[in-house]
Amino acid sequence: MRVLGIDPGLTRCGLGVVDGSPGRPLTLVDVGVARTSPDLEVAQRLHLVDVEIGAWIDRHAPDVVAVERVFSQHNVRTVMGTAQVSGLAMVAAARRGIPVALHTPSEVKAAVTGSGRADKAQVGAMVTRLLRLAEAPRPADAADALALAICHVWRGGAQRRIATALQQSSVTRGAAR
């Protein structure tokens, strides 16, 4: 499964692509950050980020796009841009018929570090280890995007295994009738 993780933001939007399946080593495919200048108008900035997200989806053809779930309790000064970019990311995927998954920051931290309250350094360290990189991806938004993708590989995989198990158990029950 190939997952594009998107850590939405207007000044810095993290983008990370990971190949993997549960229980097997993960592979880094690509990682980067889309940046826009605060000197531009908001519509122009959103448009630039949207173009970049679309280019990443088209270039890497992910099976799933995983986007960080944004909460309005976040920093009030930046939450609007973050919410707007998360919406663009979801529509960029939906428009191309690619499934979208949302994961909260706590879910992502818990998936890669074992603790939902891990700090940025811990997340960066685990992403580095899990993807066997020489050093942590910078800035933190890039590492966060990879952590999102890893989280989805593992959670999505678990969800699929449960669905498969349920399906097989109903097949068995059907055969036993």
Binding site for a second copy (CB under 8 A): 41-44, 46-47, 50, 70-73, 76, 79-80, 83-88, 90-91, 93-95, 100, 102
Quick one: 99 or 114, whose CB is closer to a second copy? 99
Task: Tell whether 30 is in a known binding site.
Answer: no
**Closest distance of CB 144 from a second copy, Å:** 19
Quick one: 76 or 176, whose CB is closer to a second copy? 76
**Closest distance of CB 133 from a second copy, Å:** 30
The 3-state DSSP class for residue 55 equals helix
The 3-state DSSP class for residue 11 equals coil
Task: Tell whether 7 is in a known binding site.
Answer: yes
Distance CA 177, CA 173 (A): 6
- H helices within 12-139, ranges in order? 42-60, 76-95, 105-113, 120-130
Distance CA 53, CA 85 (A): 10
To which H or E segment does residue 17 belong? strand 12-19
**Closest distance of CB 41 from a second copy, Å:** 7
**Closest distance of CB 87 from a second copy, Å:** 3
Distance CA 143, CA 32 (A): 9
Quick one: 42 or 171, whose CB is closer to a second copy? 42
| Active site members | 7, 68, 141
Task: Tell whether 68 is in a known binding site.
Answer: yes
Cβ atoms 64, 154 nearer than 8 A: no
Distance CA 22, CA 154 (A): 5
Quick one: 79 or 133, whose CB is closer to a second copy? 79
Cβ atoms 157, 1 nearer than 8 A: yes
Beta-carbon contacts of residue 59 (< 8 Å; ≥ 6 apart):
30
Q: What residues form the annotated binding site for Mg(2+)?
A: 7, 68, 141
Q: What residues form the annotated binding site?
A: 7, 68, 141
